[in-house]
Chain A
């Protein structure tokens, strides 16, 4: 039986510059952030990022890793937009393919089913077709003759998702209420990677949750990496909620070049264990400030 366990560095070694990479999760929820941070530290560049976008897209933009973003939205959920993505778009630093979030789903589905496109009503009449002239329409060959959007397959060179539990053979268990589109991201990709809060024995899955939670079969994965707290600061319920205080600090730091440089130095220029201990310090500082009656993290914390 194949042992698919990898280290973060080995995962990064499987990727190369210029690739089209799909990232699982949704907005600021269950994002493979430890893997994103590893990409930030690597010399990978010129990436096309395909994502129901959150801070994954923002951070990759901030580090200059993104050539093109494919998305229906980029949001931090509790904060409407990501500041780095916003800046990258407004500065013309990245190419963009912005599509309806349902078209995005259909595009991944087409790729996972190995067909060139799938028809959908979504997109008709909107500027999505005007800004993406490569997306064509198709006329139904049946009596209705309807002209629908022919959403092209969003084929991925690689996909990375983050799950609550996994085993060494590459089966994934999602314990939160929404599996999002992770399975389809993996199905659409040539190289399929999964990070997980905790690696467990296959015989332990059933004590963690019912059969429906074991939603990612090993048919869909090539490598699995254990990254505890690896979705931080996005939500990974039921293991942990979004770290709202940290997310606010991320947004605040993005607004000022000096603060951002400090944020990078403290959180992103370090290996994953360094990140995790800096996050613990942040949490302790923030808890102390709350006791002192200040609800918002101060600028000092970011530094």
Chain B
């Protein structure tokens, strides 16, 4: 299946986000891929169908599924391959055989993430869902974050509540905290970020085509590290584009999350 150059010219922002999310799973072997949000869900499936074929996906309920079903697929259309109730999910988390993209209401310079509360935790301005599994996830296996609305409200100097543990906190907790800790990437609607600097602070890894560095700086509440030449987020291959558009997300749910 091929995509004509005309179509390639029209690659949308949500499609770059999906490709960037897929890259999180590159090089992963036979581990459980968990992904929250639309672009991460497409990305994990895309990685499974292309460069990381041994990944195992979940049905979002209590099972592992065969293959990479389209997002929003009817439950009775899935082929289940193993029982994975929550109690066993913890077995997988603590074994380290998992790679995860979580959402973040706030994220900061050293990779701390917050989904618990805005303001003072003891009496918050806004109570969110709670710390959930973020503390345990981040010290047990690789974790990345997806922020579909990059702004100074989401990219903050210090998060209000440290749920997902960043590099500085993991190091301060000693060898037990840092041994299995890795914040791999942060993907937003504007670009991709990582912590590949000597002092493990957030760096611009790539910008989605059409986004300027100034735009990112203006939308970020702290100083970002960057190299002299910031690359663009890579293009999807024609095969990948075809998979996103016709196999994995034919109803274009991705366009409801990030403006195309």
Could you list 27 A-B pairs, sorted by A, with CB under 8 Å?
A72-B132, A73-B130, A73-B131, A75-B129, A81-B129, A89-B123, A89-B127, A98-B121, A98-B130, A101-B136, A102-B94, A121-B94, A122-B135, A122-B140, A123-B135, A124-B173, A125-B139, A125-B172, A125-B173, A126-B134, A126-B135, A126-B162, A127-B131, A177-B83, A178-B86, A179-B85, A180-B85
The 8 Å CB contact of B125, one of A80, A90, A102, A176, is: A90
The 8 Å CB contact of B130, one of A26, A72, A102, A179, is: A72
A128 and B87 within 8 A (CB):
no
B131 and A125 within 8 A (CB):
no
B176 and A148 within 8 A (CB):
yes
Q: How far is the CA of A72 from the CA of B139 in the complex (A)?
A: 17
B117 interface hit (Cβ, 8 Å): yes
Chain B contacts for A293, CB-based, 8 A: none
Chain A contacts for B86, CB-based, 8 A: 26, 178, 180-181
Q: How far is the CA of A90 from the CA of B164 in the complex (A)?
A: 22
Chain A contacts for B121, CB-based, 8 A: 98, 127, 131
Enumerate B150-197 residues with CB–CB distance to A below 8 Å.
161-165, 169-170, 172-177, 179-181
B176 and A177 within 8 A (CB):
no
Q: How far is the CA of A136 from the CA of B32 in the complex (A)?
A: 31
B93 interface hit (Cβ, 8 Å): yes
B128 interface hit (Cβ, 8 Å): yes
| Residue in A closest to B176 when the chains form the complex, CB atoms | A146
A127-B163 in contact given A179-B87, A181-B86 (Cβ < 8 Å): yes
Chain A contacts for B93, CB-based, 8 A: 102
B61 interface hit (Cβ, 8 Å): yes
B63 interface hit (Cβ, 8 Å): yes
B127 and A86 within 8 A (CB):
yes
B235 interface hit (Cβ, 8 Å): no
| Residue in B closest to A128 when the chains form the complex, CB atoms | B135
Chain A contacts for B87, CB-based, 8 A: 105, 179-181
A124 and B139 within 8 A (CB):
yes
Chain A contacts for B122, CB-based, 8 A: 92, 131
B31 interface hit (Cβ, 8 Å): no
B27 interface hit (Cβ, 8 Å): no
A102 and B90 within 8 A (CB):
yes
User: Which of B83, B131, B165, B179 gathers the greatest number of chain A CB atoms within 10 Å?
Assistant: B131
Chain A contacts for B129, CB-based, 8 A: 73-75, 80-81
The smallest C-beta distance from A267 to any residue of chain B, in angstroms, reads 24
B124 interface hit (Cβ, 8 Å): yes
Q: A81-B127, A124-B177, A125-B162 are in contact. List 14 more A-B contacts (CB 8 A).
A: A26-B86, A72-B131, A73-B130, A81-B129, A89-B117, A100-B131, A102-B93, A102-B133, A122-B94, A126-B162, A146-B175, A147-B175, A179-B87, A181-B86
Query: How many chain-B residues does the 8 Å CB contact rule pick out?
Result: 47
B130 and A103 within 8 A (CB):
no
Q: How far is the CA of A26 from the CA of B86 in the complex (A)?
A: 9
B79 interface hit (Cβ, 8 Å): no
Chain B contacts for A38, CB-based, 8 A: none
Chain A contacts for B61, CB-based, 8 A: 177-178
| Residue in A closest to B167 when the chains form the complex, CB atoms | A125
The 8 Å CB contact of A71, one of B62, B130, B180, is: B130
The smallest C-beta distance from A105 to any residue of chain B, in angstroms, reads 6
Q: How far is the CA of A101 from the CA of B86 in the complex (A)?
A: 10
Enumerate A172-195 residues with CB–CB distance to B below 8 Å.
176-181
A99 interface hit (Cβ, 8 Å): yes
A73 and B132 within 8 A (CB):
yes
The smallest C-beta distance from A174 to any residue of chain B, in angstroms, reads 10
The 8 Å CB contact of B135, one of A85, A103, A179, is: A103
A92 and B131 within 8 A (CB):
no
A289 interface hit (Cβ, 8 Å): no
Contact with B along A101-132 (1 / 0, CB 8 A): 11101000000000000001111111110110
B116 and A98 within 8 A (CB):
yes
| Residue in B closest to A71 when the chains form the complex, CB atoms | B130
Chain B contacts for A92, CB-based, 8 A: 122-123
B85 and A100 within 8 A (CB):
no
Contact with B along A60-76 (1 / 0, CB 8 A): 00000000000111110
The smallest C-beta distance from A184 to any residue of chain B, in angstroms, reads 8
The smallest C-beta distance from B147 to any residue of chain A, in angstroms, reads 16
Contact with B along A140-181 (1 / 0, CB 8 A): 000000111000000000000000000000000000111111
A128-B131 in contact given A103-B136, A178-B86, A181-B86 (Cβ < 8 Å): yes
A100 and B136 within 8 A (CB):
yes
The smallest C-beta distance from B124 to any residue of chain A, in angstroms, reads 6
Q: How far is the CA of A128 from the CA of B85 in the complex (A)?
A: 25
Enumerate B100-126 residues with CB–CB distance to A below 8 Å.
116-117, 121-126
The smallest C-beta distance from A290 to any residue of chain B, in angstroms, reads 20
